[in-house]
Amino acid sequence: MGGPVFKLLFLHAAYNYNRARFFMLRKWLGDRAKFGAGADVWADCFRMKGQGVVEIGPGCAVERGPFPFAVELERGSLLKIGQNTWVRGKYRPNVITCFEDARVEIGEDSLLNGTIISSRRNITIGRSAALSWNTTIIDSDLHQMDSDSPIRSAAVTIGDFVMIGTGATVLPGVNIGAHSVIGAGSVVREDVPSHVVAAGNPARVLREIGARTDCL
């Protein structure tokens, strides 16, 4: 036991098990979830509630791991994940919440590696973005600051080829330019230009960098 033949049999059984579970998941979700061709979703790690819609693009992967990909979408909301994006649950769960009529769009070839995203309005993440574990992106204050004030919200935009380090927080109304890197533990409350490294609380530009087109 434990040799290559056993491992091959185990992988084959796991593959068939997930195919059956994924089939049942798609039937249960119905029109609330659309999966592109070749989407590889480990069904036991994908959890969805609410009446919104999720679109998972072709070639996307929700990997098998200790932590789930949990999605809560209120009525009229949309979560759109571009093709070949990888959702990894090795270190922390990925959690995306869309309130009523909100929209979250994640570009193709991106990586979610234990990220929390909460949207009341609109969050757009470009292609080939890399979001590390314990990162948080919000486009609202989530609660009122006082009894006489409404909940403040403002759209967030994160450009192509952006990397956000572990434990960083992106606050409402922020725009992060393409090819920029946000350091671990940073709190981003103002816009960050393209092609820079920014870090700190509040995040400040530290230096300029070149293109990240071929970065892992």
Tokens of 61: 């992967």
Task: Give the start-end residues of each E strand in 22-77.
Answer: 33-35, 40-41, 46-49, 53-56, 61-62, 69-73
195: annotated active-site residue = no
Q: In 10 A of CB 151, how many CB atoms?
A: 13
- Choose, from 12, 143, 179, 195, the residue flagged as catalytic: 143
- For residue 37, what are its two tokens? 């061709």
Gap between the Cα atoms of 28 and 102, Å rounded: 23
Q: Is there a contact between 24 and 3 (Cβ–Cβ < 8 Å)?
A: no
Residue 17 CA, distance from chain mean position: 26
Contact 193, 208 (CB under 8 A): no
Dihedral of the CA atoms 111, 12, 47, 69 (nearest 10)? Answer: -20
Identity at 68, one-letter amino acid code: P
Task: Give me the active site residues, please.
Answer: 143
